[in-house]
Amino acid sequence: MSITIPSEKGQPTIRVFESLEEFHTETKQSVCHGFFDTKANMILATADSVAHEIGHYLDLKSGAFKNPDKETHPVKKIKACLRNEIVAILFAFTKCGDGGTSLSYELQFLQWLQFFRKAERFGPQPEKEISDFGLKEIQNLADWLVKPDHPWFNRLCHFFQTYLATEQNISTYGRNSVRLNSTQS
């Protein structure tokens, strides 16, 4: 059974599903764990994806969300997708720790990011724990991370390979235009 958290002051209603199976059956969305229904002003998600979807929603509401459909160049499209997804993952992490990550690539990405921030002291505010970041700081970090000329851009694409392949109609990525091998049928 899903539970519905009523909206307050124009904020979206949140409908939380007990399982991924229930979410897929009820919403007919087969490739994601949650989404924001703009018409209904409602976030629909599995319990472990709620914080992630709220992150997307707040990013969108702040006006900083980058619409991949407005980008014509494939690398810029990917950059926008990665940036948006990273904001949501980091937001969920600041609210729920590892409990806000429902997919293995999200955890892999977080471990990579935390390791390199400590080891190389890279990115904005390297001395501050990500768990203490606010939305604006998360957005700044995501914007900074996804620049295609960074040496780790292809690595980011690799972490998010499945996501990029299922969420977007993208057949090539990165500076070397490597073809995506989707693991989804």
Long-range pairs of 152-157 with CB within 8 A, sequence gap ≥ 24:
152/116, 154/178, 155/112, 156/82, 156/109, 157/78, 157/82
Task: Find the residue with minimal CB distance to Zn ion.
Answer: 88
Min dist CB 87 to Zn ion, Å, is 9
Give the full edge-to-edge strand order of the sheet including 42-46: 3-5, 13-17, 42-46, 34-37
Stretch that binds Zn ion, among 21-29, 85-93, 132-140, 154-162 (CB under 5 A): 85-93
What whole-number distance in Å separates Cα of residue 89 and Cα of residue 53? 9
Min dist CB 20 to Zn ion, Å, is 15
What whole-number distance in Å separates Cα of residue 139 and Cα of residue 34? 20
Min dist CB 9 to Zn ion, Å, is 24
169 versus 176: smaller Cβ distance to Zn ion: 169
CB 176 within 8 Å of CB 157: no
Stretch that binds Zn ion, among 8-16, 77-85, 93-101, 105-113 (CB under 5 A): 77-85
* Residue from 82, 88, 90, 157 binding Zn ion (CB under 5 A): 88
Contact between 92 and Zn ion by CB under 5 A: the answer reads no
Residue numbers at the binding site for Zn ion (CB under 5 A): 85, 88
